[in-house]
Amino acid sequence: MKQLYLYPLMIIGFLLFANPASAQVSPPEPPAKEVPIDGLSIFPNPATGQKVYINTKAGKAKRVEIYNVLGNNVLSSQLTGNELNISNLEPGVYIMKIQEGKSSATRKLVVR
């Protein structure tokens, strides 16, 4: 009979004096800040032709990625000028991600 009480008492004793497990919690990383592109203009928007013009104050080379509403990349292009050919895009709403040097911007593009 002594043995039946001894085991639960030992388990309770171990649980009381055992160090509680703790996970390391690191602070969340702040989101990356988007550095805006100075003087960014996109026209025509809504686009009805086969070209969209992307102008910036600096006029440097740009990396342009266009995504559909499902998040699929439908067009990627490296621009040295300001003219982007969108003749392959179906009419609809798209998201443009533009990078120029360390600056970047996200804009909506409507194609009719």
What are the sequence ranges of the domains in the chain? 41-111
Closest alpha carbon to 111 in 49, 55, 66, 59: 49
Q: Looking at residue 46, what is its pLDDT? A: 94
pLDDT band at 27 (very low <50, low <70, confident <90, very high): confident
Give the C-alpha separation, 47 to 111, whole Å.
5
pLDDT tens column, 55-84: 999 999 999 999 999 999 999 999 999 999
Both tokens of residue 93? 């709403």
Q: What is the mean pLDDT of residues 28-52?
A: 88
Residue 111: count of CB within 10 angstroms of its CB: 19
How far out from the chain centre does Cα 99 lie?
13
Identify the architecture of domain 41-111 in CATH.
Sandwich (2.60)
Residue 42, pLDDT > 80, answer yes
